[in-house]
Amino acid sequence: MANYGYGGGYSTTSYGAQGGADGGGFMGGSQGGSQDSPGGSKTYGKDTLRPVTIKQIIEANQPHPDSDFKIDGAEVTQITFVGQINSISSQTTNTTYKIDDGTGLIEVKQWIDSDADPATSKPQPQEGDYLRVYGRLKSFNNKRHVAAHSIRPITDFNEVNYHLLEATAVHLYFTRGPPEGAENGVKSEGGMFVDSGLGNSAVAGGKKLPAKITGIARKVYELLQSEPQNNEGLHVNNIAQKLGVPSNEVFKAGDVLLGEGFIYTTVDDETWAVLEY
């Protein structure tokens, strides 16, 4: 796990196949992609990931209806937080979780992949479970919710405590600035890069995978790294063709890489790029 304590020198980083624009970040990728917003994000090169509390989500400022939200005066695109499931509402196209982290309550919508193979689907979260959520803050009819890119269960409660400390550190950095003597600063235009992947073994540049990532998943990752591409990344069918493997195997490999936070979805659920950090 990267150590990004208060005063540890936060800095923005770019992400995307070609490095993106100045001031990016790290989006925990997943199945689910940008379904909440057809056509995908319009700011791939600027996307950031910021750890927050639900209270910060509720109080976030949105200067204009179509603009990004701001927390502590800094734009946020992707957010991550932890909390306990208060209730679950299942519909044909999505599942809505009401999540409580002790500071507030927010609805999290996860869109259902109708093409997913039931045989490979993971157990669904239950009321009372603790979750890590990656997503984007949305507002509809003056009611806020989080469109989830990824939801995963928390198995180590230390992650809850770690996240709350991390969110506090980032809040202090934006509201008070770096402590005296801090070597590095934050580029105010681009938000934050924060490694929230507990136990993530990747290193700067995204060039090293943990030993547990093997087989086709490793080949997919290496291809995404080496293949010339634009900021939209590569489509699953292109990956399958270049590797000479069935598309369903590529999907399985992508699910592993997305869940571990090494790649992210771009224009749709089937187009992926490597996280640069």
Residue 65 lies in a domain: yes
Residue 67 domain-assigned (yes or no): yes
* Residue 48 lies in domain: 1-202
Question: Per the domain annotation, does 39 fall within a domain?
Answer: yes
pLDDT score, position 61: 92
Does 175 share its domain with 40? Answer: yes
Q: What are the pLDDT digits (tens) for 201-210?
A: 333 344 577 7
Low-confidence ranges of the chain (pLDDT < 70): 1-47, 116-120, 179-207, 228-231, 275-277
Task: Give the pLDDT of residue 108.
Answer: 96
| Cβ(150)–Cβ(68) below 8 Å | no
Among residues 44, 25, 47, 32, the alpha carbon closest in space to that of 229 is found at 44
| End residue of a domain, out of 202, 230, 258 | 202
On whether both 129 and 198 belong to a single domain, the answer is yes
The answer to whether residues 129 and 84 belong to one domain is yes
Q: Indicate which CATH number applies to the domain containing 142.
A: 2.40.50.140
Q: Is 207 inside any structural domain?
A: no
pTM beyond 0.75: the answer is no
Residues 137 and 260 in one domain: no
Q: Say what the pLDDT of residue 273 is.
A: 82
Q: Would residue 208 count as lying in a domain?
A: no
| H-only helix segments in 1-146 | 54-59
Which pLDDT does position 202 carry in this prediction? 35
Structure tokens of 15? 């992400």
Instruction: Please give the structure tokens belonging to residue 1.
Output: 């796990």
Residues 144 and 57: beta-carbon distance below 8 Å: yes
Q: How do 130-140 and 234-235 pair as beta strands?
A: unpaired
User: Does a structural domain hold residue 125?
Assistant: yes
Domain assignment of residue 51, yes or no: yes
Asked if 6 and 141 sit in the same domain, the reply is yes
Asked which of 157, 173, 202 is the last residue of a domain, the reply is: 202
Same domain, 10 and 139: yes
- Count: domains in the chain: 2
* C-beta of residue 231 within 8 angstroms of C-beta of residue 265: no
Same domain, 47 and 140: yes
In a domain, 43, yes or no: yes
Indicate whether 117 and 48 sit together in one domain.
yes
- CB of 146 closer than 8 Å to CB of 97: no
The verdict on 198 and 230 lying in the same domain is no
The pLDDT, as a whole number, for residue 13 is 32
**Backbone angles phi and psi of 272, in degrees to 5:** -125, 155
Q: Which of 202, 233, 256 is the last residue of a domain?
A: 202
CATH number at residue 232: 1.10.10.10
For residues 59 and 61, what is the distance between their CA atoms, to the nearest angstrom?
Answer: 6
Asked whether residue 3 falls in the same domain as residue 95, the answer is yes
At which residue do the structure tokens 């991550």 appear?
A: 80
75 & 187 share domain? yes
Tokens (6 digits) for 213: 């990532």
* 189 and 259, same domain (yes or no): no
Backbone angles phi, psi at 71, to 5 degrees: -125, 130
Signed CA dihedral, 201, 203, 206, 208: sign only: negative
For residue 269, the 8-state DSSP code is: T
